[in-house]
Structure 1
Amino acid sequence: MPGLVAVHAHPDDETLATGALLATFAAAGAPVTVVTCTRGERGEVIGAELAHLEGDGPALAAHRERELAAALAALGVRDHVFLDAVPGEPGGPGRYEDSGMAWVGTSQAGAGADLPPHAFVSADARDAARRLARVLRARRPDVVATYDPQGGYGHPDHVRTHEVATRAVALAAAEDDGDHAAFAVPVVLWAAQGERALRAAYRALSSPAVQGGLAAEDARELPDPDGPLPAVAVPDERLDVLVDSRRVLAPVLAAMRAHATQVQSVAAVEAPGLVGRYALSLGRLEPVLPAEGYRLADGGERSALRDVAWPAGVAPVA
């Protein structure tokens, strides 16, 4: 079975960006590894019950580690690595810490006002890439999934994760590490969403099928279907791989619910162009699309997509 390694910045990103891909590979019995670069120490916290964790980096990190473990279990993923704790790497960097962010526009994040002492964006990118390259040589995946150069929506840690993943793929192919031979990853994918599909899903969020199912505590704000889109949105024809979210909707929604400090208002929905909905700390409803999309990383060969024995539910776009 083809192997998959997904590289993410914080706990919850694995579910929100690549949940259907992870669950589909795992359900097929394929080897799946998730690498998480930080523990989300600076994340906002949803709900009064857990509000005391916000601003307490160590406590929030410990809690989010438990959320991540529960989410991975829901997705069927058994292999997880924190990038600052890669086995076999001498001279650890200390902790890679969530760098924080600030909203700078609709669905667009930027750098925060200050950086913590061990911010991931300030860490040695060469060292981080060396650590990830060791994981890639050891797991030898057919597919690596991560973010585009804008990090999906601009979060500094997402952008740095993209940079580290790109360097690690090149490094893994160029040299061994003493324990594992060099390995060239056949396919690198960047998470993406089709613009038309996303706008249609935004419109569907205002439909009676969605609005009638909202409980009093659910988020109510709606995205503007005609407004700016996050960087993860691309013209639909640029998508190279689609994952059928409907086949794995239950485990994906369960994984979202596991990230209770970060995700709220999670529910399945039956509406045109929409199979589920959720909200983040901003309190705005977001769609779960029927198909989770990816584009081939710059420089990748489309012919390589045909050489992967994709599990049922995952297919290159014709």
Structure 2
Amino acid sequence: MLLVHAHPDDETIMTGGTIARYLAEGAQVAVVTFTLGEEGEVIGDRWAQLVADGGADQLGGFRIFELTTALAALSPPDASAERVLRPRFLGGAGHFRDSGMAGSPSARHPRALVQAPLDAPVALLADIITEFAPQVVVTYDPAGTYGHPDHVRVHEVTAAALPIARGRLGTDIKVYESVTGQSALESGLRAAAGRVPSGWRMPHEGELPRCPDDVITAEVDVRGVYARKVAALAAHATQVTVAPSGTEYALSNNILTPISEVEHFVQVDGPRSGAVGRESDLFAGLDCGYGG
């Protein structure tokens, strides 16, 4: 399974439980991150001066450490050193820079991901897909989950790289977009309403991205590795605060978001399993061969 993400922390927020579950089941898993997340807003004072805007512009390097720690937390605790998941960056660490939000000065940086001609990251990702030869690829939806330009670009790059890699490999690949299920989100928010940490707030109506339930084609139960997902979220401490309950988190905006026990996906390409209703396994219908 290959998962492609824009910034350190996206892998855990969107797909941390899925990564941990399939690693625990013995699957080969790789996470490719496109940027170092240099433009992130830092929570707290300890590392505040690392920021790009008016600071030391060293946040990206620190987030490599956070990503390394998070991926280790998602790995099985008894994994050998060779089996502990480690970061991989498109083109190497620092090749593409976090573009920041749409319209921000950072989007005009010459190394910003959105400034790169599309064929440059496409070629790099096609090479990775060809080398790793995944049976399953997980990416973002066309809106980039919540509209971040780098997330949108990751979706575009993945969509363009997959046909190239398929042609080289001569095999098909199941392709999923990671989403947040509407009912699961609403249920999590109702459960959290009585335990909002001081300084946090509940989201306004429609403020958190969500996907209509009838669009979702797969749901992965991550209860068995839930603690690993929470630990990985906590590892991204410059970007994420985990509630004392261990069941919610917030970004720098202090908007409460549930940590779901189920992660949701929409299959957009590749062989179909023929399952009735939602799949419970992203490898369904494949000869997975990983012993899970």
Give TM-score scaled by structure 1 length.
0.79
The change in CA–CA distance for 1:309 and 1:287 in structure 2 (over 3 A counts) is: farther
Structure 1 gaps, min length 5: 87-93, 102-109, 176-181, 270-275
1:223 to 195, 203, 209: 203
Structure 1 residue 241: deviation in Å? 1.4
Distance 2:193 2:73 in 1: 29
Distance 1:166 1:57 in 2: 35
The change in CA–CA distance for 1:130 and 1:221 in structure 2 (over 3 A counts) is: same
The change in CA–CA distance for 1:310 and 1:295 in structure 2 (over 3 A counts) is: farther
Distance 1:123 1:57 in 2: 24
1:295 and 2:288 correspond:
no
**Structure 1 counterpart of 2:85:** 78
- Aligned-partner SS, 2:266: strand
| Contact 2:51/2:57 (<8 A) preserved | no
CA-based RMSD:
2.3
Distance 1:183 1:280 in 2: 42
Distance 1:23 1:219 in 2: 31
Structure 1 residue 205: deviation in Å? 1.7
| Contact 1:35/1:81 (<8 A) preserved | yes
**Structure 2 counterpart of 1:235:** 212
Structure 1 residue 234: deviation in Å? 1.7
1:42 and 2:22 correspond:
no
| Contact 1:264/1:280 (<8 A) preserved | yes
- Aligned-partner SS, 1:128: helix
State the percentage of identical aligned residues.
39
The change in CA–CA distance for 1:309 and 1:146 in structure 2 (over 3 A counts) is: same
Structure 1 residue 300: deviation in Å? 4.0
The change in CA–CA distance for 1:268 and 1:199 in structure 2 (over 3 A counts) is: same
Please give the per-residue CA displacement for 1:261-280, whole angstroms capped at 9, x wherever unaligned.
Answer: 000134445xxxxxx10000
**Structure 2 counterpart of 1:29:** 26
Structure 1 residue 53: deviation in Å? 1.1
1:171 to 154, 164, 182: 164
Distance 1:158 1:311 in 2: 31
- What does 1:171-190 align with in structure 2 at a 5 Å threshold? 171-175=164-168, 182-190=169-177
Distance 1:147 1:310 in 2: 23
| Contact 1:253/1:266 (<8 A) preserved | no
Structure 2 gaps, min length 5: 76-83, 275-282
1:158 to 114, 134, 151: 151
Read off the aligned partner of 1:198 and give its amino acid letter. Answer: L
Q: Which has the higher strand share?
A: 1
- What does 1:101-140 align with in structure 2 at a 5 Å threshold? 101=101, 110-115=102-107, 116-140=109-133
Distance 1:243 1:44 in 2: 30
**Structure 2 counterpart of 1:283:** 254
**Structure 1 counterpart of 2:278:** none
